[in-house]
Amino acid sequence: MSLYRQLLLAIVVSIALAFAGSFAATMLAARGYLEQQLAIKNADNAAALALSMSQLEKDRATLDLQVVSLFETGQYESIRVTNTRGTVVAGRVARIDDVGAPGWFVALLPIESKPGNGQIGDGFRQFGTVEIKSVSSFAYRDLYLGAQHMLTGFVAAALAIGALGAGILSRIRRPLARIVEQAQAIMDRRYLTVPPPSVPELRSVGEAMNRMVGRVQTMFAEEAARLETMRMAANLDDLTRLSNRGYFMNQLRGVLDVDTGAGAGVLVLFRLRDLARINLAAGRVAADALLRGAAKVAENAADSAPQGIAGRLNGADFAILLPAVDDPQAVAAVVAAGLAALVPPLPQQVQPLAATAATSYAPGEEVGALMARLDAALASAEHGDGNGCVVVSQPRAAERPLGGQEWREKLSHALRCGWLRLDAFDTRAFDGTSSHRECFVRLRLDDDGEWLPAGRFLPQVARLHLTADFDLAVAREMTRFGGAADKLALNLSPDSLGASGFGARLEAIVAAVPDFARRLWIDAPEKGILQFPDGFRDILQRMKALGCRVGADHFGREFDRIGQFHGLGLDYVKVDASFINGLAASRGNQEFLKGVCGICHNMGLDIYALGVATDEDLALLPELGFDGATGPAVTG
């Protein structure tokens, strides 16, 4: 039984016991008083009747007349006149049909009417005795009415006291419930603070809990800061703070993936010419200033696209990756102009020169072929005496590219017709079982058209603001996909998290198939969770109420903001493939991911690795603390 119910029951029992004692004492006292009053009345009336009879003739008719005249008033149960020999010479006895109260009440509280006696004189000698006993029905009626009034007053008082007690208990219960919720959250490794209760006894408990949560959050923040430093050391260039070569190439591979990439875009390379000569002539400090200036140009260009990435590939080479950008000529011109405007403090004879190359890319391209195309263009840009800039064309397919309006019409028609197909592959748990299955979408634009991979159409879906409708269509398709025991992962787009009413619409689809809800995993991208926290929280609460598991996808790129994941109630995270590829050769990323696994497990989260490409990387993951993985090395 809950504490609230125990306290409420204690109040009710206390009130009931208090009333029972008070009621019994009052009823007994009232009965004693009524018995006393009846005895006094009987004695007085007997004395008065005896005096009256003493002054009259003592014949039977006169005595009987006196008895009848008093008895007919209806207040007496019996009147009896006896002579000195004990013989009754006159009397009346009433038949009592109504005692003025229910039989159970009379049996519970019997009232004794003690008879009154008076001596009848005849001159100087005694004639006899008169005995009078009053009816007790009036006493029973008064006692019963008094009991009813007392009970009514008690019920009213009990209701008032109960309401007051419930109010007081509710005032205690609310902060107590918050403390219990906080304790439960800590058991679930979610660390929440609550306002200290106003009740003094509970305030100290609440403040102690908040101090403990604050201390744990501080520990997490310190550990997260340490791991962020490790992440930056392993994946960022020390001088420019751009992505280093390994991390940049891993991100490039992810962008080119036909199923999970961001579609077509632009890749730019530029090189600072004669960097070694500048270093010798002007010194290391000046050369470093030049490199930081070039890095700023690359960073500014990357910031011009929502998912832009800038990196330093080696000493003098920089790269800029711009997904969902389709004009390499314009990007190259901006970068070249920025490099030409660099004015570092160098001697006149060693002014910096730069070569720039740019090209478009398409999903599914080989990284080697793309980089070879750009390297050749960069070599061409280096010929000549000044800054060179070359834009090389991407090999294009034979079919005519679709315009924006054509894409909108075809995509909308495909969603209406349900021209979606799901492919799935396992996410393996390291206990040897299949954790769940990752789903990838194929879509066709015509009734007999080819099935396009996600990288071919998802960028257009995002550009035309159709992501919410598309994700809902995928959810409907998933309700019909796979076996009854298959656990499936639905990958939401970042924009869907911010779409108005998306959570309620997704809830309606999933709730219509209860068995499906219990085997559905919802993957929300880390970027979308941080960009639309309120929308994500709404989706999370709705989906978890249905029995779904909810987690963060492509986790780790913004690890410095992990504190914002406290209290969300996530079930798992999936680490981005850019940290996993080449893991066996990166001691820094190994240490970073080992710390990430530890902090995630302390938060109660399972942790999975995405895009595992080699057996060497896969073999390391259990040692680092991962719970499972997916990718080419897992699926074979």
Quick check: 136 and 38 in contact, CB under 8 A?
yes
Question: 284-303 vs 275-282: helix axis angle to the nearest 10?
Answer: 140
pLDDT above 80 for 206: no
Digit-coded pLDDT (tens) for 581-597:
889 988 999 999 999 99
Residue that wins the pLDDT comparison between 22 and 386: 22
Task: Check residue 58 and report its DSSP letter.
Answer: -
Domains of the chain with bracketed CATH = 3-159 (3.30.450), 262-392 (3.30.70.270), 404-635 (3.20.20.450)
pTM beyond cutoff 0.85? no
Digit-coded pLDDT (tens) for 518-539:
889 999 999 899 999 999 999 9
Beta strands in 368-470 (DSSP E): 388-392, 420-429, 434-443
Reported as a pLDDT band with limits 50, 70 and 90, residue 57 is: confident
Question: 404-417 vs 467-478: helix axis angle to the nearest 10?
Answer: 30
Pairing, β 353-361 against β 265-273? antiparallel
Residue that wins the pLDDT comparison between 506 and 113: 506
Question: 284-303 vs 328-340: helix axis angle to the nearest 10?
Answer: 150
Nearest to 429 by CA among 606, 636, 620: 606
CA-atom Rg of the chain in angstroms: 48
Nearest to 598 by CA among 233, 224, 188, 234: 224
Quick check: 406 and 607 in contact, CB under 8 A?
no
Q: Residue type at 231?
A: R
Q: How far apart are CA 121 and CA 124, in angstroms?
A: 7
Q: How far apart are CA 294 and CA 210, in angstroms?
A: 48
Average pLDDT over residues 241-264: 84
Residue 587 in tokens: 């001691």
Average pLDDT over residues 432-442: 82
Quick check: 274 and 285 in contact, CB under 8 A?
no
Quick check: 514 and 488 in contact, CB under 8 A?
no
